[in-house]
Structure 1
């Protein structure tokens, strides 16, 4: 990684251009500066008519906000996706010109993206724009960290580029983005709704319980899809705004590719790494919220003492423990979970903390953890084999890691549940549940209906 101390964007661009030898050589230049207060959603909306691709992310604590627009550098992989992405990321960073005087997570060169749940499964037309693994470094990135705001400009330069002219073009776009645009108050109305026959889906649950009773597998997670048609094209910034209002303590994300946008509000962190400190969380075992405080407390206590949910939760705890033990030191895991409440649901929750060993990255951890038993099952290979054979949908990026990583080895990924793929005036919503030997198909179906609520509510349902 080449650290540059130039103060001016034009000087930085010129220095990179002068180092290029051949006309087809390219070099990524990254310039970060501190800026005045800027609304991340209005920045996102202002980019709608300038760039095709936008990305949005907030951490569950809302301490970190990332709004990326445009595409300065892209990494994708269909096979060996962790190794291919890691190699491309490291090569790009080693050659990049970076001006970033701030030691702030989410500044400098930041790649945002995600991956599919199962790259072996055949991809359908629904997810044709989303590769099995896909990350991009945005051309403009707005970062809000605590109460400070930063703007990073990323651009690939060529030998024949003119530094001052390019810098001026970038500044003009910057001014439009920082002015922002008001987020529309878009109220969608659902005009059509379709889903797989519930009886057919529940029959697959019955097949899964038979598989478990025959001791071929301990747990299988089954998902289903709900397809909606709206009265007009959906406004992504409006959907994000409504998710921010209605889903506190969740990761709010959007990854847009042209007219398709994968968006969601997930409560489930997969892993966070900051200065080699690792945090993963086990969030499995689900119950609804009560209508009164007293009812809420009773449901919470019942969840904490429910054998099926505790077993489901422990699958995840043990998997994370064994998955990261060779990559970390100083691992700490509480002996019993607590109940963590969210807007519509409450979950069993156990945090896992550790110190990441030198030489390993967040991608190494993701490779070990995905898919967790909360989204795939246990054992991993056997549950995935059942899902591939019986589940009648293409999960795409649903249930898979989505997040970001930066040039200072910080990063955070969540599990993309409570999510939807928006396509103009249509959307596919996804929800799943963990099937164990005593699962009741009707109860599991009702649980997926509850899990669809966060997205359904903001989409006019």
Structure 2
């Protein structure tokens, strides 16, 4: 029987509390342009959308834990850290003070586990205000470093792509098998993913990927946590001052670049019985998971069409009012895995994923985001992303997945997965 790795210990001297200081920062420079070249992809953290959000670098503290209770152990560690922390916060917004960036494996059995990273430096921006947080683990308040624009990131050098666990034709065969299982009544929906390997001649600068993704997909959350980099359109859950929100995306069609034609495609997506069925499953799973934590909820009856740069999705925004002391990470745990990344019923879909995909998803399709000392934060689903190879910073695994229901066509699903790989492929393609 295989065993999971032991948790990496937190880089924290015994008995010494975390010390954090947040001050206002006078700069209008793009957040991602402030990230220095550290030569280590895992040292960069990001959660940026339309110029606002958080970026961080370095590691003051970190924890990686594994297994079915990985969420609970990560949350307990964070509560212990902030419970003894010394914080001087001169700004007082969500995301100021000490912040942990996190990403969690899709499967409890995955060696990727759940990682929380507390950067040494965090720069945040919200509603036109910018701040700087510095974090240390000695007894003194850390000094505020000079934060200035950095040298442009390095362009990837001669990137090549190769099939991952399955070729497109093999994966189409897995889709056919999934449709047969669904038609036989074994389950209602399953989300199947595939991977693609990207290899460059030299280490790939994560700042290049982040800046390219932010430029081209400004409606997504551009993230980096412990070597996982991407641009997700799906907000799994946001918690701020007792308000819980979640954006559900399920049902996808590729854009053509012709605005008039895309409007017609959007209308067909909104009427597609296959896509509406897939979307209904996903919305129901999110609402059912949030309801125990909320005193009231708003679940729209019909989705809207969300237009992204390369695809369009059926989307529904679910909202609720929190009635307990649950943190944003615990809410993410209650939502994972949603029907949008797993299927319905969950146990049957999860079993079929393990049988058909022939790969470890790692942290793909798991929660990714950040949390502050109050437990408020934002957690997306790690989609449209790539994971750095731990031994080779010139190699990434890219991922894409599709919801499979009774009416799914294997070749169409391959085309949809190709469309979902476009953001990362384009980011790696160079100028």
**TM-score computed with the length of structure 2 as normaliser:** 0.91
1:459 aligned onto 2:428: yes
After superposing the two structures, state which structure 1 stretch, 299-308 or 229-238, moved more: 229-238
SS of match in other structure, 1:108 = coil
Supply the distance in 2 between the matched residues of 1:192 and 1:216 (Cα, whole angstroms).
35
Q: Aligned match of 2:31 in 34, 40, 43? A: 40
1:193 aligned onto 2:174: no
Deviation at 1:75, TM superposition (A): 2.7
1:269 aligned onto 2:228: no
1:156 aligned onto 2:134: no
SS of match in other structure, 1:27 = coil
SS of match in other structure, 2:18 = strand
Aligned in 2, Cα 1:24/1:287: closer, same or farther, shift over 3 Å?
closer
Aligned in 2, Cα 1:377/1:35: closer, same or farther, shift over 3 Å?
same
Q: Aligned match of 2:269 in 274, 292, 303? A: 303
What is the alpha-carbon root mean square deviation over aligned residues?
A: 1.9
Supply the distance in 1 between the matched residues of 2:21 and 2:248 (Cα, whole angstroms).
37
Q: Which runs of 4+ in 1 moved over 3 A?
A: 49-52
> Is the Cα–Cα contact under 8 Å of residues 161 and 196 in structure 2 kept in the other structure?
no
1:222 aligned onto 2:192: yes
**TM-score computed with the length of structure 1 as normaliser:** 0.85
Supply the distance in 1 between the matched residues of 2:428 and 2:22 (Cα, whole angstroms).
36
SS of match in other structure, 1:373 = coil
1:74 is aligned to: 62
1:450 aligned onto 2:431: no
Supply the distance in 1 between the matched residues of 2:160 and 2:423 (Cα, whole angstroms).
19
Q: Aligned match of 1:441 in 393, 410, 422? A: 410
* 1:220-266 per-position Cα deviation (integer Å, ceiling 9, x unaligned): 1110011122243222111111111111200101123xxxx211011
Supply the distance in 2 between the matched residues of 1:51 and 1:232 (Cα, whole angstroms).
13
Supply the distance in 2 between the matched residues of 1:324 and 1:337 (Cα, whole angstroms).
18
Supply the distance in 2 between the matched residues of 1:193 and 1:40 (Cα, whole angstroms).
33
Deviation at 1:188, TM superposition (A): 4.0
Which of the pair is proportionally richer in helix? Answer: 1
After superposing the two structures, state which structure 1 stretch, 295-304 or 189-198, moved more: 189-198
After superposing the two structures, state which structure 1 stretch, 301-310 or 181-190, moved more: 181-190
Supply the distance in 2 between the matched residues of 1:187 and 1:84 (Cα, whole angstroms).
37
1:87 aligned onto 2:53: no
> Is the Cα–Cα contact under 8 Å of residues 163 and 196 in structure 2 kept in the other structure?
yes
Q: Pairwise mapping of residues 20-419 of structure 1 onto structure 2 (< 5 A)?
A: 24-37=14-27, 38-46=29-37, 48=38, 53-59=43-49, 61-62=50-51, 64-79=52-67, 80-121=69-110, 123=111, 131-157=112-138, 163=140, 167=142, 170-171=143-144, 174-175=145-146, 178-184=147-153, 186=155, 188-195=157-164, 196-256=166-226, 261-419=227-385
After superposing the two structures, state which structure 1 stretch, 190-199 or 244-253, moved more: 190-199
Deviation at 1:99, TM superposition (A): 0.9
SS of match in other structure, 2:92 = coil
Aligned in 2, Cα 1:366/1:192: closer, same or farther, shift over 3 Å?
closer
> Is the Cα–Cα contact under 8 Å of residues 397 and 416 in structure 1 kept in the other structure?
yes
Supply the distance in 1 between the matched residues of 2:310 and 2:187 (Cα, whole angstroms).
31
* 1:93-113 per-position Cα deviation (integer Å, ceiling 9, x unaligned): 111111113221111111101
Supply the distance in 2 between the matched residues of 1:142 and 1:273 (Cα, whole angstroms).
20
> Is the Cα–Cα contact under 8 Å of residues 290 and 297 in structure 1 kept in the other structure?
no
* 1:113-166 per-position Cα deviation (integer Å, ceiling 9, x unaligned): 110011225x4xxxxxxx4111011111111112111111111126xxxx4xx8
SS of match in other structure, 1:417 = coil
After superposing the two structures, state which structure 1 stretch, 314-323 or 359-368, moved more: 359-368
> Is the Cα–Cα contact under 8 Å of residues 65 and 114 in structure 2 kept in the other structure?
yes
